[in-house]
Structure formats: C-alpha cells, structure tokens
C-alpha cells in the first residue's frame, strides 16, 4: 500500500536527519526541546479546521505526524521504544476500547460508548482515578471540560441542566461578595468556580467551551480591527476617540454582520 511505503520513507528520512551526517538542528533536538513545536503544530491543525482550510489540512497533519515520528526516533536511539511500538500500542488500545465492534459487547449510543471507554480505563488499564489522563498542559477551559466529562461518565454529575443554572447564580453571588470583601485569593477562587460552572453548562448544551471562547475571541478581534480601520480612515487615532463614538461604530459593525 502507498501509505505503508510513504510512512516507511518518512521514518527513514527522520533517521537520516538524526544520523552522523544529518542535519545539525535535528541532531541537537530532544523530547523537551521539541515540546513547543508539537504544541504549535497541533494548533495549526486546529486552525486549519476552524477556518475550513481543508486544502491546507493534509500539510498540517503531515507536520504533526513528523513530530510523532521525531519523538519515536529519539526514543529508539535511547533504546526506549520505536515507531512500531507506537503504532502497535494505539492499535491494541482501539480494539480493546471498542468491544462492541471487535467483540460481542453491545453498545447502542455514543454516550454508552463514552461510559464504557472510561470504565475500561479504570478496570483494564490500571487508572487509579476516573479523572486521570487529562493533561495538565491543556488550556484551562478544555481541561475543565474533559475532567467534568470523565467524572460524569462514572455518574458524578448533575441530573440535568436546571440545577446548574442555580449553581451559576450562586457562584455569581459569591464572586460579588468576594469583590466586596476585597480579598485577592477569594476573588480568584470564586472567579474560578464561576468559570467552572459555565463549563458545566457547556457540557449540558453540548458545546465545547474552548471552541466557543476561541470563536468569540476571533469575533472580537475582527470587529475591533474594523473599528480601528474606520477611525484610521478618518485620520483619527483610537486614543483620541471617546468610548461612546467607538461603541456607535462597534454597534454598526455588529449590525452589518448580522
């Protein structure tokens, strides 16, 4: 198959880059130095998806795949594991976690699969806690979302959305009280509780909070640049414009978008 040939070629290229007569930069790298590159390549894949740039997606996925092959090459040189072990590991995991496809177990819905997946991790993979396995380096909103989902999969969850609205009101009030008291640590804690509750709402309405916030950030950035452009075209700097004037232009841009 072509995929096997090209994958083997990629592995060979990576080995050559790391060889005695290879690339000086590649030869200097280690797992830690590549960490940021792995993160950046992942976000470039996400950006291509978010912006519907599917003509760029194959290239971005290739860049991400290179990072995986690079780490596997480093591990092989250290006698830890090889790319074969990486692929074999995920193959075994996929089969193990889909007994309804590769075995006799019956799972009818995606929610049942999520529950079964988390139980499999606890029983068959030695996880000590239902919330283990969520990387600490994830963006905070996404990490909260994943942790809540894992806890919910084993039954630790609100029965429905209604009491979560009550919790939102409670946390909002507690933040206001902390602000009145003026204690910095309490304010930070209560703001965190409020955000955590918003994430809970996002789970119930099936919206990824990280995606939702990213979309809002991009919308704010787009509209703000349009406000800047309008005043710049008139020869005015935002520092010389009143907030009321900016709000009027903002509202006009918002109305045009809708």
Give the per-residue pLDDT at 126: 64
CA dihedral 181, 184, 190, 192 (to 10 degrees): 170
Q: Which CATH number fits domain 134-209: 3.30.465.10, 3.90.1150.10, 1.10.287.1080, 3.40.50.10540?
A: 1.10.287.1080
Integer distance in angstroms from the first to the last C-alpha of the chain?
Answer: 49
pLDDT interval class at 221 (50, 70, 90) = very high
What are the angstrom distances between the C-alpha of 150 and each of 95, 100, 114, 171?
20, 20, 9, 22
**Rounded to an integer, what distance in angstroms lies between the CA atom of residue 185 and that of residue 176?**
14
Q: H-type helices in the chain, by residue range?
A: 2-17, 24-28, 35-50, 54-77, 83-96, 99-102, 110-124, 140-153, 162-181, 184-204, 209-233, 243-257
**Rounded to an integer, what distance in angstroms lies between the CA atom of residue 151 and that of residue 165?**
19
What's 103's DSSP letter?
S
Q: Tokens representing 253?
A: 């841009």
What's 176's DSSP letter?
H
Q: Taking residues 234-241, report their average pLDDT.
A: 91
Residue predicted with more confidence, 120 or 16: 16
Please give the CATH architecture assigned to the domain spanning 2-96. Answer: Orthogonal Bundle (1.10)
Give the per-residue pLDDT at 83: 96
Q: Taking residues 183-190, report their average pLDDT.
A: 93
73 C-beta neighbours (distance < 10 Å), count? 20
Task: Please say whether the dihedral angle defined by the alpha carbons of residues 165, 168, 174 and 176, taken in this order, is positive or negative.
Answer: negative
Residue 142: name the closest of 88, 192, 191, 199 by CA.
199
The two most distant CA atoms of the chain are separated, in Å, by 72
pLDDT at 189 exceeding the cut of 90: yes
Q: Tokens representing 92?
A: 């075994």
Give the per-residue pLDDT at 23: 96
Q: Taking residues 86-96, report their average pLDDT.
A: 92
């Amino acid at each position: 198959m072509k995929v096997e040939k090209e994958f083997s070629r990629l592995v060979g290229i990576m080995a050559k880059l790391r060889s005695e007569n290879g690339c000086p930069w590649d030869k200097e790298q280690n797992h830690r130095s590549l960490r940021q590159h792995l993160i950046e390549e992942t976000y470039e894949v996400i950006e291509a998806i978010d912006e519907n740039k599917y003509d760029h997606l194959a290239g971005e996925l290739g860049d991400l795949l290179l990072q995986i092959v690079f780490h596997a090459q480093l591990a092989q040189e250290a006698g830890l594991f090889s790319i074969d072990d990486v692929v074999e590991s995920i193959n075994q995991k996929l089969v193990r976690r889909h007994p309804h496809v590769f075995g006799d177990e019956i799972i009818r819905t995606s929610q049942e699969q999520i529950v079964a997946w988390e139980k499999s991790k606890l029983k068959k993979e030695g996880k000590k806690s239902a919330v283990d396995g969520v990387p600490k380096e994830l963006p905070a909103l996404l990490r909260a979302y994943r942790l809540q989902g894992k806890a919910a999969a084993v039954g630790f969850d609100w029965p429905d959305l209604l009491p979560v609205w009550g919790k939102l009101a409670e946390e909002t009030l507690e933040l206001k009280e902390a602000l009145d008291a003026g204690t910095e640590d309490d304010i930070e804690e209560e703001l965190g509780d409020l955000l955590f509750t918003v994430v809970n709402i996002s789970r119930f309405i099936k919206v990824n909070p990280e995606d939702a916030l990213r979309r809002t950030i991009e919308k704010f950035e787009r509209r703000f640049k349009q406000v800047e452009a309008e005043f710049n075209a008139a020869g005015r700097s935002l520092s010389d414009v009143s907030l009321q004037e900016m709000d009027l232009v903002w509202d006009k841009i918002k109305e045009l978008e809708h």
